[in-house]
A and B are shown apart, each in its own frame.
Chain A
Amino acid sequence: MDAILEYQGQLLQGTWVTIQLAIYSLMFSVLFGLLGAWAKLSKNLVAQKTAAGYTTIVRGVPDLVLILLVFFGGQELANSIGAITGLWEYAEISQFAAGVCTIGVVFGGYMTETFRGAILSIPKGQIEAGVACGMNRVLIFRRIIGPQMVRYALPGFSNNWLVQIKSTALVSVIGLQDVVYNGFVAGRSTRLLFTFMFAVLMIYLLLTAISDLALRWLDRKYSKGIVVRPDDG
């Protein structure tokens, strides 16, 4: 316990990096999820196929493989592009950027499916009613699809978010000084790896528990006025 107090600065700093990583990658994944859902539901065949390929690949390959590929491969690619075009001599991708982009893109694939399902579960009549009232597409999205989509998407979104927070731990493998990395370094130098890894475990548990509570509150807020019928089983 004394050791943890001694290293609490590093742990807190690492936790802050983890939180930032999670939030930035969440923004990316929501953006990609919306784009993906839009493409999957569009009438354009090219957009449909592209989105289908994107979600299949991203959900088929483990995230750590993609993180390593983006971090090491992206570096090489950036350097080759620089060498060919002569625009820059040496480019460096930071661990943080590689982590945010990769986790964002990977979970964008999961979000795509969540958002797509949510949009599809909005009764068609409501959209037709919007058309009949002379609303244009933007207005229909803003007034009819958007608010209900949030409610339908929340359970899936919560699930994705909880998995996404935990995935951020993988970025420590490429050397980002997040809570896992800092905890590991502190544990190794004090020879108390169990203590520190346990502390890291508890920090993650705290993060997921807080998110869980917040998402439940959101769920209640967005389901206001909706009566759940008791199971007729």
Chain B
Amino acid sequence: MGESIIQFLETWSPLDVVLIAQNFDRFLLGAWVTLQLTVVSLVIGGALAIPLAIARTSKNPFINGPVWMFTYTFRGTPLLVQTYLFYYGLGQFEAVRESVLWGPVLSQAWWCALIAFSLNTAAYTTELLRGSIINTSRGEVEAAKACGFSSWMRLKRIVLPSAFRRALPAYSNEVIFMLHGSVVASTITIQDLLGVGRWLNGRYYLAYEGFITAAVLYFIIVLMVSRGFRYWEKHWLQHLYPHDAIKVKPKKGLANFRI
């Protein structure tokens, strides 16, 4: 039974499904590398973004300015070039090559990708958090002031929690963007999901199989991430949804009424 299925697929399938199945463990490993790079850089980038976003809301140009320069540069240039700059570029400097970090970190593709991705997502997250922070409704801040909150307490208890929630929909885009961006890793020799696809195509001299498998797996990951965020948004943004939309059902007869 099993063999006849394999034989059927080998003769009739336009794609070499058997070959994909044989190498599927490698694809899963590639997906693991992709997820690892994405998640770790999102965590580091997110951790960097919180203080940077607060600095970016400062009125002092000496605090605000440098952060703005950082976000502007990283948001205005391609991730590919940023990654090349770290991976290929750093070796140009004698001081970097002789430093302690060179061997274990700065000459390794994985670490260079991680550094570039983290800084990139930090820049994007900073800006979207900043937007969310400055849109905190004035009343909330005034209420906190009236209750005698110090500015640090205001930030910790009022502004940031509410800003995080409101930034959630934009942040889900950033997560997917980062996942998409992580394919850049395959151009600096990392065997991520796309890297495995390229390896398979190169090794067996194929045109479709590796890329299509990678594309399908990326698609599945993106779908799961966006579903997860939708659920999360429903949970954390419940208080911002229009009240009537949840409770009041349209009356019969009026439902189909259109002007």
Chain A contact residues, CB within 8 Å of chain B = 57, 59-66, 68-69, 72-73, 75-77, 162, 166-170, 172-173, 180, 184, 187-188, 191-195, 197-198, 200-201, 204-205, 208-209, 212, 233
Contact = CB atoms under 8 A, between A and B. Distances in A.
Interface string B77-101: 1111110110011111100000000
Interface residues of B, number: 42
A169 B78 CA distance: 7
A188 B92 CA distance: 10
Contact of B218 (A62, A68, A188): A62
Contacts of B208: 69, 72-73, 76
Contacts of B207: 72-73, 75-77
Contacts of A57: 219
A191 to B, nearest CB: 7
B58 interface: no
B258 to A, nearest CB: 10
A72 B205 CA distance: 11
A229 B76 CA distance: 30
A173 B56 CA distance: 35
B80 A193 contact: no
Interface stretch (B21-29, B47-55, B143-151, B180-188): B180-188
Contacts of A191: 92
Contacts of A166: 76-79
B212 interface: yes
Contacts of A65: 183, 194, 197, 211, 214-215, 218
Contact of B219 (A61, A162, A184): A61
A11 to B, nearest CB: 13
A63 B223 CA distance: 16
Contacts of B222: 59-61
Contacts of A180: 78, 80-81, 84
A209 B76 contact: yes
A205 B73 contact: yes
B100 to A, nearest CB: 20
Contacts of A198: 85, 89
B166 interface: no
A184 B218 contact: no
A62 B81 contact: no
Most A-side CB within 10 Å, residue of B92, B139, B198, B212: B92
Nearest to B139: A233
B194 A197 contact: no
B177 to A, nearest CB: 8
B201 interface: yes
B214 to A, nearest CB: 6
A19 to B, nearest CB: 14
Contacts of B181: 62
Nearest to B79: A166
Contact of B89 (A66, A193, A204): A193
B138 interface: yes
B108 interface: no
B206 to A, nearest CB: 9
Contacts of B179: 62
20 contacts: A61-B215, A64-B194, A65-B183, A65-B214, A69-B208, A166-B76, A166-B79, A168-B78, A170-B78, A173-B80, A194-B85, A194-B88, A195-B89, A197-B85, A197-B89, A198-B85, A201-B85, A204-B76, A204-B78, A208-B77
